Each structure stands twice: as structure tokens, then as C-alpha cells.
């Protein structure tokens, strides 16, 4: 089935999934962090580590499985781009909402 799905569709789906997941979770974590007195820097570092763990399975597939490299590369690129956009834009939105 992987041969019939274009790489750009896999990349876009992974990017949107990561963007929504990390964007929503980052805003919820900011709201909880404000109420509990957590530092924003600690929260950002935790989300960067979680984003790296989120992208690790595709990076592992890319490094070890040559027959699945095209799909793994597209998934990794999409997840990395989605996480980067979410972790850049979510603090702006949560600041506008008054959580940071």
C-alpha cells in the first residue's frame, strides 16, 4: 500500500497531525503551568524532548530499514515540520490568551 500513496500526502498528514497534537497540548500545558506556578522555560524544554521522542520512530526506521526509507523519510519530515511550527506558534497563542 505504501507504493501508491505519494510522499507529499504522507508528509502533509504527519505535519498536520503533529501541529494539532503539539499545539493543543502546549496550550493546555501552559494553562496548567500558570495555575501551578511552573516555569515557562522548563515547559518548553519538556515539549522539545517530547517532540524529539515523537519523531524518533521514523528516524529509527529511516536509519535501519532501507525498504521503508521513502515512507519513513516523508513521515519524519512531516512530523518534524509540524512539531517545529507548533512549538513556535503555540507560545504566541498561549501568551495572547494570557497563560504566559
- Report residue 66's pLDDT band, with 50, 70 and 90 as the boundaries: confident
**What number of residues does the chain have?**
100
Q: What is the pTM of this model?
A: 0.82
Nearest to 83 by CA among 56, 48, 58: 48
Domain ranges across the chain:
8-96
> DSSP for 26-57?
HHHHHHHHHHHT--HHHHHHHHHHHHHHHHHH
**% residues pLDDT > 70 (the chain):** 95
Amino acid at each position: 500500500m505504501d507504493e501508491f500513496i505519494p510522499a507529499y500526502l504522507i508528509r502533509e498528514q504527519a505535519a498536520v497531525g503533529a501541529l494539532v497534537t503539539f499545539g493543543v497540548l502546549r496550550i493546555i500545558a501552559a494553562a496548567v503551568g500558570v495555575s501551578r506556578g511552573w516555569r515557562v522555560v522548563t515547559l518548553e524544554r519538556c515539549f522539545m524532548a517530547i517532540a524529539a521522542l515523537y519523531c524518533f520512530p521514523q528516524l529509527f526506521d529511516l536509519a535501519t530499514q532501507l525498504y521503508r526509507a521513502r515512507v519513513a523519510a516523508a513521515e519524519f519530515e512531516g512530523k518534524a515540520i509540524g512539531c517545529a511550527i507548533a512549538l513556535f506558534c503555540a507560545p504566541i497563542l498561549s501568551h495572547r490568551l494570557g497563560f504566559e
